[in-house]
Amino acid sequence: MELRDVMLLLHPVIAVIVVYPLIGIVVNRALLVRQRRLQAATEGKSKIPPVVGQEHVKLGRALTAAVVGIVLIGLAFGIFGHILEKQVWTKTPFKVILITLFFVAAIASLTLLYKASDKMWRGIFATLSGIAIVILGCQDGVYRQTNQWYISHYYYGVVVALLMIFSLAILPDIYKDKTNRWRKVHIALNSIATLMFIAQGITGSLALLEVPLSWQETYFQKLYEQQCNIKPCTIQAPKMPNKP
């Protein structure tokens, strides 16, 4: 495999090794926290240790970083792959610099969001981080499947990243709000995010079949040119790369 192919596989590898195990642990801790709260309310005590709440918060913060990070990696592969292939740097260097600055802005805003304690600044950094991700997703080279948005790995990924950023931004308010309004919002949004993660697993598997490795690109291009996805056709298979 070429370096480009290794970079292509980096996104799903991190998802399998880091993101999805974290999702399972975070959901488990969330259920334990709720179970402990209900037991304490009805029975006055619970055998579930209080530390599960701290673990849920800590791992949830880590999950947000992992999700946003893996989304940025996926976007970077498509965007910079397009820049190199089409030699955009030589044609519009300012655009390439601007795109790079948006990546920096997304990372910097998320980092500052973790450090911010004031409600206003949390809102600002969360908004900036979300805007940067959306703008980057609109760039050339990103595999969006807009005509089939309901099975698009890109759209589910962006939405779940925005949900994670928002959940991180409201985290301090959950413990300050005695009406439990923010807690209910947190539960609702993260229930949606969990469904989105399931959809991500399905659409991600589909995307891996549709985004070719470097030696398969010519073959895939012919398939799409002849619309083999909607009608029967025959394409000569490409030659396998020679082994050294």
pLDDT tens digit string along 168-208? 999 999 888 888 899 899 999 999 999 999 999 999 988 88
DSSP state of 91: H
Domain coordinates in residue numbering, the chain: 3-91+133-211
| pLDDT confidence bin for 38, thresholds 50/70/90 | confident
User: What pLDDT was estimated at residue 193?
Assistant: 94
**pLDDT at residue number 85:** 85
Using CA atoms, how far apart are residues 129 and 68, in angstroms rounded to an integer? Answer: 9
Check whether 105 has a pLDDT greater than 70. yes
What pLDDT score was predicted for residue 206? 85
Q: Which residue has the higher pLDDT, 147 or 165?
A: 165
* 166: Cβ contacts below 8 Å, ≥ 6 apart: 126, 130, 189
Q: Which of 44-48, 81-85, 103-107, 157-161 is the least confident region? A: 44-48
Query: What tokens appear for 170 in the block?
Result: 């409201």
Question: Residue 159 has which token pair?
Answer: 């939405």
pTM: 0.86
Mean pLDDT across the chain:
88
In the predicted structure, residue 240 carries a pLDDT above the cut 60: no
> Distance (Å, rounded) from C-alpha 195 to C-alpha 86?
37
Q: Which among 136, 138, 132, 155 is positioned nearest to 203, based on CA atoms?
A: 155
- The first and second tokens of residue 6, run together, are 């290794």
